Amino acid sequence: MNVTTDPRIMKQMLLSQWLTETSPFAASSTNGTTGESGGMFELLLGQLMETASIGGTTASGSSLPSNANMLASWGTTQFGNYLTSDTGSSSAFDGLISAAAAKYGVDPALIKGIVQTESSFQSNAVSSAGAKGLMQLMDGTARGLGVTDSLDPAQNVEGGTRFLSYLLRKYEGNVTSALAAYNAGPGRVDRLGLTTDALLASRMSELPEETQQYIGKVLEASRQWSASF
């Protein structure tokens, strides 16, 4: 199959591969994940096939905004209170979350908000679509991230945070765009052109209702966990 590739997407892929190999965001063999750049490159290639006619957004190494500030600027009434129940131990994985947050430069409260929303702190959670573990990684995404066992909490949090850090850099620190991509996929976010928080706020209704609610859940949970780190 022939695919017409926007050169901006190729630039993004090559830059992201370079970042994976040389930056502080590069993965190591800690907790069972691999440090091979090929895994992330394969993940990006899969996204390229989905968005080949759209064009990409260049990753950025800029500092990330406070998630608590993000929630305050949007207001909790934007989405309503959609918190998932805490059916697992909410503190059992704080060490893993803190370590991954420090390694990839991501707000630990944001990671914990995703864990709560995705799996309610259940490390053995498996969705009907096949997403697995604390941060609900699909098998293909997990392989691209070097995760060999998505039900292993250490590997799952490591891989999920690595993917989240990539999305935050891809969308230049725009947290809600990154969350939308984490839930609905970067391809859908890119097709809609919702690459900034301002654009996403003004065109929220174009996203699936599940994704709209997901963003609200994660932001509200993250605000509540912000005092824990």
Coil vs helix vs strand at 132 = strand
**Angle between the 153-170 and 37-51 helix axes, to the nearest 10 degrees?**
50
115 and 135 Cβ atoms separated by less than 8 Å: yes
Coil vs helix vs strand at 32 = helix
Coil vs helix vs strand at 139 = helix
Q: Active-site residue among 21, 36, 50, 118?
A: 118
Tell me if residue 118 is catalytic.
yes
CA distance 141 to 181: 13
Is 63 exposed, middle or buried (CB count within 10 Å of its CB: 0-12, 13-18, 19+)?
exposed
Coil vs helix vs strand at 128 = coil
3-state secondary structure 148-210: CCCCCHHHHHHHHHHHHHHHHHHCCCCHHHHHHHHHHCHHHHHHHCCCCHHHHHHCHHHCCHH
- Active-site annotation, residues: 118
